[in-house]
Structure 1
Amino acid sequence: MPKLIIDGQEVEVEPGTKVIDAAERLGIMIPRFCYLKSLGAVGACRMCAVKFLKGNKKDLDMSCMVEARDGMIISTDHPDAVAFRAQVIEWLMLSHPHDCPVCDEGGHCLLQDMTVSGGHGRRNFRGLKRTYKNQYLGHLIEHEMNRCIHCYRCVRFYREYAGGTDFGTFGIAGRVTYQRFEPGSLESPFSGNLGEICPTGTLTDKPARYRARRWDLERKPSICAHCSLGCNTLPAVHYREVLRVENRYNENINGDFLCDRGRYGFEYASLTERPRQTRVKGTPTTPEHGAEETIKRIREILEQHGPQSVGIHVSSRCTLEDMLTAEELAANLKLSGPSFFMTEEERIACLEAASLLGTDISRSLRQVREADMVLILGSDPLHEGPMAALAVRQAARTGAIIGVLDPRPVNLLCETIHLPLTRHQLPAAIDALLDKAFPETEFQGEPSVFRQELRELASSETDKLTSLAEPLANIAAALASARRPVLICSADTMPTGWLSLVAGVTRLLRETGSENRMDAGMFCILPKANSMGAGILGAKNSTSLQNFLTPMDNAQPIKGLICIGDDPLTEFPAEQWIAECFGKLDLLVCMDCIDSATWKKADIAIPQSTLFETGGCLINNEGRLQRAMPVFAGGTPVTQTGKGSHPPRNTDAPLTGNGPQNAGHWLKLLMQKTDKSEHHSHAALRSAMDQATSAESFNMLPDVPVSPFPSLESLASFIEKNDGNKSGEILVTASTFGSDRLANEGPLGEKLLNAPVLWLHPDETARLGIEEGQTVLVPLSQGLASVKLQESMDMAHRTAVLSKTPESGWQNVGGLAAPFNIEHLWREQADEETKAAADIDPDNSCPNGRV
């Protein structure tokens, strides 16, 4: 490893390390504009010049472009380097406007810092300044082109790193601009990063524009709660209002960036209509009275219907602290549960993930970025966990082959080899891949039993893959030559037992070869922020909300429900059924932080705090326990209490709107009303929670699970059931904006919502006589959906894919996947067409007329 001396300090670094990074390890921050480690070096801004005094380089050079070598002696403050950087600053400031007092980046601006530190204070050039016209870039980013110093960071991130195509470089020489071809919203789901990586005020965060200066903000390290990946964030609060969420660097997870759902999904925390006071039968009351009334009603139901007649359901978005307290309350009061899952399918998938993943195969986002082959098995990362798709793109940029086996039109921002097969054909495709990639490999013991079970599982569908022989061979060749492949799967949409199959195949790959074994890994995207934590807690005794309401063992359904942090009336995938079940409850208690349908219906409604206010521990999809710190104490934003005026100067006044507390607080208050003592379980988990900080995390997975090669019996039942299905099926697929109920809240969330669509293969639309862009009526088991039709060649036949957005009607499907006859699709007709259709269809057997 090379040793070098920078400003008199010796440092030893890994081969390939840039001098600018080596200096940073010593605490020496060499000035820079264009350089960002994640983006690599281009030497565009010329600001990081240093003096090389000894070694294989001499004189001035750019520290971002030179790799550290043994024996180098470097000076960052040599007079030649300082003078060079001062000249660069003067060039950059020739046309820069002097608008720091009104610039959102003021006080947090690299150009401002470098100008002051470089000693530049007088403009010697007396010519006219170069000026530009600004462009509208949508709801998230504000464009002020006059402030640009042409460092190329924005374009390099947007086009090269994130794979965007609608923003780039225009013009030549002194007229270069960075913009869209025409005004409009940026299309990339990572566009919000532009405001953070821009070193000047050219691209700034529009939702937070003119709201506060950086030094006025409360900021604490936190965790994104909008998917299961656990990206590290830095929320910023001003006068009790969350104004922005920025990226917090974590090399193993999100690195330097965030997706727009994680960055802009914060408005729910500061809405005017957010619940802030306990209500009993719609009447505002005190928290103490609410707790007393809750315990009174629970006891009445338990006395009348016996133990277990009241259930407690906690969302898997909630923290571990909330989940553990719910367990204690359930044990003390002899309640059913707690349930951490909405449906049985979600429960089984999360338990599979918690029981099958171990540190031997679980992979982080960083390891996905470094993979030399990525195989997507039944997952849509861009919509289910957008940062996973960004990680896959980075693997592709370094030469990794990306294979996709999924019935949906999966967009991964890079070139892929996609096999669009139906769900029951996917095991056969995996079996064929293993046969082609490792034809002579013989397994022993448990791996051999698993391999044979997979062969039997695939036998009925193998003959149907002949038309895909070439792409199968290409993926198999890439898999055979890979040393660090990662298999990405999802717990949503795929059948029960799917994660067992992927985990077993991952471990099979690790058994291939003799001397140089493959370091294969698995990356599983789960439904919610703490789904892995819920799976770990529920490993011994778990249930689901669905099982509460329709028990599988012929027991009586619950008569009362405590629902925490979830909105089943909106989020359950069977809208009519859940409404009927809730209508039969004698008691519904809801704890939530948004004014949801379940909150409105609740007999007793208790306001819940957000992660911003109380913090807590979450376990991400790879098993990493992380702590989010409380950012502020809570309370109604001053913009609401003071109607925009200055905050009150009476410091003794109570904090208004401070009714919301975390679920753990309310549950402990309920326990106090029962005179029951607390009891603690999960000692190892509690110990890790006590030790976890914002900077230190713990992996809660075992090294190797008890059953590394699970049975595929559940998957075999699914394939047998669907083998004769000729009509097809409908799948509900996540949307980048629209699938997360917290991010959907607020004016900005509504603006970002993806339009509801139904995807079909062009062969199906041609056969039905429907055209892309038309509105179609989709008859579902729970009702009728009306959505726009979208075509894709890159999806399976006999499969309809419905986006999971508030207005798509996905709650009528009856699940995240269901049998569906595509022949039953109808085109919604205009009024004049409806009259004509009535003559053709006098008995009104088809809604609005058949195409």
Structure 2
Amino acid sequence: MPTLTIDNQQVTVPDGTTVLEAAEQLGIVIPHFCYHKALGAVGACRMCAVTVVEGTFKGLKMSCLVKAEEGMVVTTDDQQSVEFRARVSEWLMLNHPHDCPVCDEGGECQLQEMTIASGHGLRRYTGKKRTYNNQQLGPFIAQEMNRCIQCYRCVRTYKDYCGGKDFGVMGSRNRVFFGRFKDGTLESDFSGNIVDACPTGVFTDKTYRFKSRYWDLQEAPSICPHCSLGCSTVPGGRYGELQRVRSSVNEKVNGFFICDRGRFGSSYVNHPERPRQATRGSWKLTVDEALQQLDVKARELINQHGPESVLLLGSNRASLETNWLLQRWAEEIGCRAPLLSAHLPRHQAAQVAAFDLADRLCSLEKVRQSDLVVAIGADPLAEAPMLGVALRQAVRSGGKVKVFDPRPVELPCDFEKQTVSPTELLDLLDGTSVESKQLVDLLRGAERPVLVAGGLMLGAGGMLRLKKIAAAASNDQRNCLVHPLLGGANSFGAALLSLPEQDDLLTRLESERIKMLVCVETDPLLEAPDNERFAKALSLLEELVVLDYLPTPLSVHANLFIPTTAPVESEGTFINNEGRQQLFAPVIKPRLPISVTGEGNHPPREFIDVAPGSDPIPSWQLFQQLLGEATDLPTLREKMKTAVPRLIDFETLQPGGVSCRVAHVDERCIYTDEIPAAPEESLQLVVTPARYGSDLLSRYSAKLQPRFTEACVQLHPQDAAARGLQDGAKVVLDTVEGPFNLTLKCNDKMAIGCALVENGPKFQQLVPGGKLSFCKVHAGMSHG
């Protein structure tokens, strides 16, 4: 580790550290543009000049490219370096339009900061400026190429780091252009990252265009709620409206970037139909009145019909604090322990991850560092998009990726795919077949192997089988690690709090012993299989109570509704798929946006003491009120830590701070699987999440609507031909949940003998993660 001197300050840094990075450790800011910690440097901007006084190569050098050496002496503020940087800054600004007053990057523009830092302030150029025609890049990204300073960050982010193929660099010299060959929507699922990477206002968030300045925004560290990875984000809001989401830095999880679903899927917070008022049928209530009615009715039914009569249902959308307090309230009123998921198979898979696999779980950082990743039953871009980017970094570092899946999986990197059906996946993991032994041998030959386990596809039984493969591929020198993909943002947390055995919600509802169901931030009609049976079972209830912040069908039909806050309006904890405890902080207060209350005017013409639509309260506070407690979150977390010892350092964690994983436990097998026999002439039914709109939050986000796809059923061409069907035909998909009229799409990249449907906004009837089932596809239209 070399020790060097920069501006008379000594610092010792790891081998391979550049002078620019060493200066950062000392708090010395060297102006730069092309350098980015995730992207490295290419020496394109020439802005980071320093003078090497002592070293192998003396003189004026680019600090982003020069490696630190033992005994090196560097100056950043000498006359030569300062004058060079000022000239470079002036040169970069020659063709810039100087349109800061109308640029969305104003206030957080690195070009502004570095131009001032370099000492350039006088505009001397009076000639004709270079100009471009901007491209239309779709609903998310706005382009203003005249502001470009040719740092190459956009193309290095979009193409090199994230693997996009429809965006690049064209032209030469001072006519370099960054964009597509022609206008069109950017195809990558990570296109929004060029907004964060761009140091000036060339690429900006079109959905946030002309809304606010950076200094006007309320921001706070948060956790993306759209999948189980738990990426770190920084949402920003103003005037009661959540206006944008940008990536935060979390090197253990998402690194420096996020996916487009996480970036643009936030407008569910501002949904025009979002329920913000407590109601009893058509009667409006205060939240206090609604809570009193809830408590009185629950105790009354338990006294009359016993503890079975009231059922409490938590969810993987609810925070860890909410689910724990829900359990406490169940104890208080004397009913059975709550169920923490409406979808039992998904929940059981999460329990396997939280208990049986706890000692070998790994972070996205470990995935990026792996030399062999084998994904089994996982479609990263649909289930956990940033995993796809992590796999790309593994490949860029020399690693290999292999995928076993029935779906037409796509990844932003080179990979080998073996197309297998769901039953063949389970056979692959049984530990005795030839294929299974070959898989173990493959993993044993790697130095840092990782198994990616698709919880939705494999279920609890498949996850337990995969655990045996991981154990067989481990040795005394290293473990074969596992990165599971779970159903929701807090699936791990809900599993962590659950009893070893969970009853099936639908079975209990159909028993007619349940008189009252309390749903906390969940809708079984959308989140659980057999939604038609659920609808009938719910009609048997005497009382349906819903606490939520989404306008779901269940919210509309509740006897008693109590509004809660969205994650960006409250604080709480999610535990991600690898067991990492992560806290989020409130960004905005719940209220109707001023753009709504002002009816287009600003400010509104009526002034009142209480903001309209400000009734929603964090669900954990609602249950504290029901329990008669008034403790703050730190005190609550101390109690939780005592009750749940696996929550290591839970009471000391801070939003945006260092996160830590829960403690390991002894394994706990909770499930055994059986593979049903296939009916004659049937196909294995594969229900998969859509890339956009499968999770409820993105489904209710208007910004993502351009990405929603039409519903269809996909077959391999051989299966279609065997049934006399052609691509584009109208067909009937017959399932145990009923027939569905869909359009046929032939796809030769999926498994033979399977029928594939995506669960999304335009086809909500079938939900991913159920038990293995079969179906039939035939021509015609169903009238059922």
TM-score, normalised with respect to structure 1? 0.86
- What secondary structure does 1:492 align onto? helix
Is 1:779 the equivalent of 2:743? no
Is 1:504 the equivalent of 2:468? yes
Corresponding residue for residue 402 of structure 2: 403
Matches within 5 A, 1:175-324: 175-324=175-324
Q: Aligned equivalents of 1:157 and 1:756: distance in 2?
A: 32
Q: Aligned equivalents of 2:270 and 2:229: distance in 1?
A: 24
Quick one: structure 1 residues 700 and 20, their matched pair in 2 at CA, closer, same or farther if it must change by over 3 Å?
closer
- What secondary structure does 1:707 align onto? coil
- Whether the 8 Å CA contact 1:781–1:813 is kept in 2: the answer is no
Corresponding residue for residue 545 of structure 1: 505
Q: Aligned equivalents of 2:738 and 2:767: distance in 1?
A: 5
Partner residue of 1:534 out of 494, 500, 515 = 494
Q: Aligned equivalents of 1:557 and 1:682: distance in 2?
A: 30
What per-residue deviation string (whole Å, max 9, x for no partner) do you get for residues 114-137 of structure 1? 222222233333321110111111
Q: Which amino acid aligns with 2:616?
A: P
Corresponding residue for residue 135 of structure 1: 135
Quick one: structure 1 residues 615 and 651, their matched pair in 2 at CA, closer, same or farther if it must change by over 3 Å?
farther
- Whether the 8 Å CA contact 1:785–1:808 is kept in 2: the answer is no
Partner residue of 2:545 out of 586, 589, 602 = 589
What per-residue deviation string (whole Å, max 9, x for no partner) do you get for residues 364-399 of structure 1? 111100101100011111110101111011101111
Corresponding residue for residue 107 of structure 1: 107
Quick one: structure 1 residues 518 and 746, their matched pair in 2 at CA, closer, same or farther if it must change by over 3 Å?
closer
- Whether the 8 Å CA contact 1:732–1:810 is kept in 2: the answer is no
- Whether the 8 Å CA contact 2:733–2:775 is kept in 1: the answer is no
Quick one: structure 1 residues 229 and 281, their matched pair in 2 at CA, closer, same or farther if it must change by over 3 Å?
same
Q: Which amino acid aligns with 1:670?
A: L
Q: Aligned equivalents of 1:109 and 1:100: distance in 2?
A: 9
Quick one: structure 1 residues 827 and 111, their matched pair in 2 at CA, closer, same or farther if it must change by over 3 Å?
farther
Corresponding residue for residue 125 of structure 2: 125
Matches within 5 A, 1:341-356: 341-356=341-356
Residue 159 of structure 1 deviates from its aligned partner by 1.1
- What secondary structure does 1:269 align onto? helix
Residue 99 of structure 1 deviates from its aligned partner by 0.8
Q: Aligned equivalents of 1:124 and 1:275: distance in 2?
A: 57
Corresponding residue for residue 633 of structure 2: none
Quick one: structure 1 residues 685 and 241, their matched pair in 2 at CA, closer, same or farther if it must change by over 3 Å?
farther
- What secondary structure does 1:497 align onto? helix
Quick one: structure 1 residues 813 and 402, their matched pair in 2 at CA, closer, same or farther if it must change by over 3 Å?
closer
| Structure 2 runs not aligned, ≥5 long | 630-635
Q: Aligned equivalents of 1:650 and 1:56: distance in 2?
A: 70
Quick one: structure 1 residues 726 and 659, their matched pair in 2 at CA, closer, same or farther if it must change by over 3 Å?
same
Quick one: structure 1 residues 308 and 687, their matched pair in 2 at CA, closer, same or farther if it must change by over 3 Å?
farther
Corresponding residue for residue 436 of structure 1: none
Q: Aligned equivalents of 2:311 and 2:360: distance in 1?
A: 36
TM-score, normalised with respect to structure 2? 0.94
Corresponding residue for residue 364 of structure 2: 365
Matches within 5 A, 1:673-712: 682-684=643-645, 688-703=649-664, 705-707=665-667
- Whether the 8 Å CA contact 1:19–1:66 is kept in 2: the answer is yes
Matches within 5 A, 1:71-110: 71-110=71-110
What per-residue deviation string (whole Å, max 9, x for no partner) do you get for residues 306-331 of structure 1? 22211010111111111111001111
Q: Which amino acid aligns with 1:825?
A: H
- Whether the 8 Å CA contact 2:455–2:769 is kept in 1: the answer is no
- Whether the 8 Å CA contact 1:343–1:546 is kept in 2: the answer is no
- Whether the 8 Å CA contact 2:370–2:448 is kept in 1: the answer is yes
Q: Aligned equivalents of 1:495 and 1:747: distance in 2?
A: 32
What per-residue deviation string (whole Å, max 9, x for no partner) do you get for residues 465-498 of structure 1? 6xxx9xx97x777534310011101211224311
- Whether the 8 Å CA contact 1:732–1:816 is kept in 2: the answer is no
- Whether the 8 Å CA contact 1:108–1:214 is kept in 2: the answer is yes
Partner residue of 2:773 out of 818, 831, 839 = 818
Corresponding residue for residue 803 of structure 1: 758
Say what the alpha-carbon RMSD is for the aligned residues. 2.6
- Whether the 8 Å CA contact 2:444–2:473 is kept in 1: the answer is no
Is 1:493 the equivalent of 2:457? yes
Quick one: structure 1 residues 813 and 81, their matched pair in 2 at CA, closer, same or farther if it must change by over 3 Å?
closer
Corresponding residue for residue 389 of structure 1: 388
| Bigger Cα displacement from structure 2, 95-104 vs 477-486 | 477-486
- Whether the 8 Å CA contact 1:590–1:606 is kept in 2: the answer is yes
Q: Which amino acid aligns with 2:709?
A: N
Matches within 5 A, 1:291-690: 291-358=291-358, 360-430=359-429, 454-455=431-432, 458=433, 462=434, 479-511=443-475, 517-540=477-500, 542-550=502-510, 557-647=513-603, 653-672=609-628, 682-684=643-645, 688-690=649-651
| Structure 1 runs not aligned, ≥5 long | 432-453, 829-845
Q: Aligned equivalents of 2:189 and 2:355: distance in 1?
A: 33
Percent identical among aligned pairs is 38
What per-residue deviation string (whole Å, max 9, x for no partner) do you get for residues 660-718 of structure 1? 01112222333449xxxx99762536774321102445544434x4238x69x824x32
- What secondary structure does 2:40 align onto? coil
- Whether the 8 Å CA contact 1:342–1:545 is kept in 2: the answer is yes
- Whether the 8 Å CA contact 1:497–1:714 is kept in 2: the answer is yes
Q: Aligned equivalents of 2:397 and 2:204: distance in 1?
A: 30
Q: Aligned equivalents of 1:335 and 1:69: distance in 2?
A: 68
- What secondary structure does 2:207 align onto? coil
- Whether the 8 Å CA contact 2:352–2:460 is kept in 1: the answer is no
Q: Aligned equivalents of 2:397 and 2:783: distance in 1?
A: 52
- What secondary structure does 1:52 align onto? strand
Q: Aligned equivalents of 2:374 and 2:210: distance in 1?
A: 45
Residue 544 of structure 1 deviates from its aligned partner by 4.8
